[in-house]
Structure 1
Amino acid sequence: MGQCEWVWEAAGGGTQGLLYKHLCLLLIQPKRPARNMWSCALTLCLLLTAFPGGDPAPPDPKYMLLVPTVLHGGSEEKFCLLLSHLNESVVVTLTMGLERQNETLLEKQVMEKEDDSCVTFMTPKLDAPEVAYLTLLVDGDSLHFTSRRSVLIKPVQNLVFVQTDKPIYKPGQKVQFRIVSLDENFYPVSEKFPAVYITDPQGNRISQWLNVELKKGLTQEFFQLSPEPTLGTYSLIVEREKGAPVTHSFSVEEYVLPKYEVQVKLPATLTILGQEVPVTVCGRYTYGKPVLGRINVRVCRKFSDRYNLCQGEEDGVCEEISQRADPNGCISDVVNTKVFQMRRAGYEMKIIASAKITEDGTGVLGGCSWEPNEQ
């Protein structure tokens, strides 16, 4: 199969003209021009496509300024400036302008084509948020450009939290509270408050603490309620040297035990052939939440003649269940009917179930009973 042999002659002499993007002259000297002329010509076209001649245009100078859009007053901040493809020596200036003052953050001469620098600076202390304008000026013999952008400077404000040991108090109880101060990174910081005071539901100031200083970001105080205070919502207010006060509310109420009901569910109809009686008991407060505690259930079949019973004798046959309520305030179980002797005479033809719930924490008892229909 024929082969092509190439002889390269660079214009102006030398075989390295192509490497330096000079115009090249390509002479083709095929050994067998008749058979290989088209393949050699195709190869020539590919080579001319792969090695174009001419110098590309130099890239334009570019810059990139990185700075947060929100700065914190009176703290260290940082900006970074990147300059690239400079074709001459320039002087770079970055200024920050506010309503009452201007500050030069950077001023230097750049002689290299590339420059990358980050600068730390202090922001001014402010009493209120203010918009500042950053102006970047790059000035050279033939290169001049200016850029201006806005940033927001916010005064540093610590986070203040007020907590009470519980949300509701009874008359005569002690109200214990704490004040916590944290910076924006959630580290405790010392802070001084001109006044901390408590107001009653009518807005009267009933107790106060002056010049409260937080050491290591925490302080704790207490307030003793009177035996007959005004019932309602009280406010604990922390005044700050700068910024809005912090308010926390708590209630003083006469404690009333919450009411709840007990629901017992059995099948509406029982037969003498049934071997099990499913029983479900639930406790619900009047506002819908479940009652947590221990549930005791008593399922009985009474004697039909209870007038001839001796003192202390049971008036029927009973089965008992005692379980803790699940998170929904319920228990479910089954009772074997064998103990009730369903085919035997002398018993009432019905099953009675009664249940009691002992509420966790208070020990309050609540209960009810339920009877299915007679068969």
Structure 2
Amino acid sequence: MKRTTLFHIFHILLCIAVLAASSGCIETDHKQPDSSAPVEIIPCGEGVTGEDADYLILAPKTLFVGSESSISMSAFGDAHEPVERCVTYTLSDSENTKTPLVRASTGKSGHSVARFETPQVEEGTYSLIAEPVGTDQEYIATVRISKSNPIFIETDKPIYKPGQTVHGRILLLNNDLKPVEDSVELEIADANGIKVFRETLETNGFGVATFDLPLSAEPNLGTWKIKAEAGESKSVVDIEVERYVLPKFEIETDIVRDWFLVSDPIIGTVNANYFFGKPVDGSVEIEAVRYTGTWETYATYSALLENGSVEFDLPAVEWIAGTYGAGGQGSLMLNVSVTDTGNHTEITTELLKIVQSDTILHLIPESNRLKPGLPFEVLIVTEDPDGKPVDTDVEIRTVFREEGYTETGKDDTVSTENGVAILEYTVPDNCTGAHIEATCRDTTGATVRQTVDLDAAYSPGANFIHIVQTEGGVPDVGDLITFAVHSTSPGTVFYDIFANGRTVYSETSDDADAEIAVTVTPEMSPSAKIVAYMINPNCEVSADVLPFDVNFETSVDLKSSFSGETAAPGDAVGVDFDAGVESMIGVAIVDESVYALSAGRLNLRQVFSELEKRFMEPQVEIHPKHGYYDPRLVGTYEVLDDCGMQVLASPSFEIPKIPEPPEPQAVGMKGGRGFGEEMVGAMDMAVEEIAEGAAMVVPEAETTSAYAPNGAENEADRELASVERVRQFFPETWLWLPDLVTDGSGQAHLDLTAPDSITTWRLHAVSSSDEGIGISEANLTVFQEFFVDPDLPYAVTRGEVFPISVQVYNYLDTPQDVRLTLSSGDWFDIIGDNVATETVAANSVADASFTITPTAIGTYVIEIAAQTERKA
């Protein structure tokens, strides 16, 4: 009859995307070949050497141990025609110890990609040496060898009580998301930063290591940090340690938007549902609090829920104080409380913005680099603060800055359609940068303004190449993404798509203004960069880089499912997994209310954090006055360097690099280059003794006692149903299985028994294998039509007169006359009767109460029986 629903969740730190993004740039190609085909190594043919050729080699600045890497290479004859040549690549450390990497040919096309697995060498700085076969030439670059493998940290749930055990799992992968066997240093610090746990773990062949941390009865409460390190890799995940009681239902506020003008009424809906899926009947109270220099309540709202929902309409705030910390916006808090018919209350808080304007203006250049002499587009977006399109007229003033600190101005007016307009320029030949200012009017007539400053690319020979995405948006794996290329000179364009530290596709085109169409592959996920480069007639190399995102997709389609959608407490439940290949699966099944509790507390912390940022921290703001903008020119060297690439080239090729800037001509406010500045539960229960300082904390107790009435007399006029089963298993984490191994085909099955908690259980599973990782989730609702649930605090004090509230849930189709009996115990005295009766309407919730006085300190069990003529 008691319920302690505990909620656990996998905490997964996805540092892979960050690693992938930092490891290099991705390039795409121009034609429409089958780009889903992998880049193959072209072996050196018989008699193919490296003589009589010039080379252009594109290599990453960082190589990751155990991961696949690649080098893009091109060979040219005397007339810069592509030729087939063979090149050997090696690593050399500080002691001149050489480690071979790969030997590959450029092929008949004169262009190919050499792919290899980075060897297991020590981390550090190495020389990457490219040696054309049959020559004494060497092309040398410096590379960083890193063991920066992605680390996942998973815990069974995000929040813990004192005395519980933190269950954890480490998953160590390489950049291909394949398992890595290695040592991992694990460290856990409490809320005061005190290190309470440290251990060296060894991951197995599936990249998995596990750990457990029992919490003391009196830990430091707050945010604990779990840190895992392997080589240069580091992951940190936060867990919360608090005294808490799980919520009985979830409140969701559905507000028409998260921003309002001072004249707008605040309209929305409150939805409340029990975690077993039924709607909450009861009342709603809303307190609207605005910030006007101090927080003040300006409006309240009360209503009754109908089928778990109610709409609300609050008056406009009328006036409010904006703050610098909130970007000039005002702040409005809605404190929402819901009380069900069982007299249980849950509370949530929403923080809304009161904005000055209902229109936001964006200027989005197609690239952060202007290419002199080439077309350039700027996307103008007008939208409301929620991101919905707003159609309006926009005036644009563009000032091109040219050599010698001269300027050329241009005025345009565009009208946005569906919130979007495109303005196209032809960049002046001697342009060094540009300042663009756009203005429009919002619906109130106020002026909205936005500016952007852009730098120009650098080329001593005025040779530029420019690439833009024309179709595809953010593609899924298998979609086609297209790009357009513009150049100031004709010639062969080389394309590479670089992702996760290696080239995943490579192609060339003899058309310098070609369209590039590429089929997106899983290797390009989650982000990539396309590099387009060409050799101009004067032997100068031009390059451009464009990043693009790909919707993340795991390489393994892990499937998990329960044997049914619902079950009764104590029912047999089957769980099936299918990973496709032999895998190790980490499984957690947690009470949904734990997630809601964690999210609610996180939301509350975020609210207070935001309020502190907005209102409590002293701030000094510095804003540049409208002085002269000093542009930063960028050459091919900087373009490639910024995306993690470097070029090894024959002396005949020139890789433009920006020259040292000239000495400033003047520093001042007018006509110079200076800037001015201006400041602007379950049935478990804890009893504590305040005088003695001792605490009685109630764990997830499991009682084996059967129900037996304690001196209660049977009612003469009716026969009550007998108690056949005592609900006594109320975990927060139903199952934590970090190392479930499948069979050879990836199949696994578990036979479980449904807990006694009436709730929805969330299954989260992560698999790892030589094919990569897979992630899946599934839900199961445990429910019965008639049950009781005591409403207990986290702890009470010995000697306190304490009411035990009991919620009675009747989802039968008829009203029920319920007899409730509180079993006696040796740790408390009952004040008054231990038997109560309550009539509960069909499909509704009611409450009853007993009064006790705790007489002992410790962790104890309360037992309550509910009987009707039909159910018990």
Q: TM-score range by the shorter chain?
A: 0.3 to 0.5
TM-score, normalization by structure 2? 0.21
Please say which structure displays the higher CA radius of gyration.
Answer: 1
Greater relative contact order (Cα < 8 A, sep 6+): 2
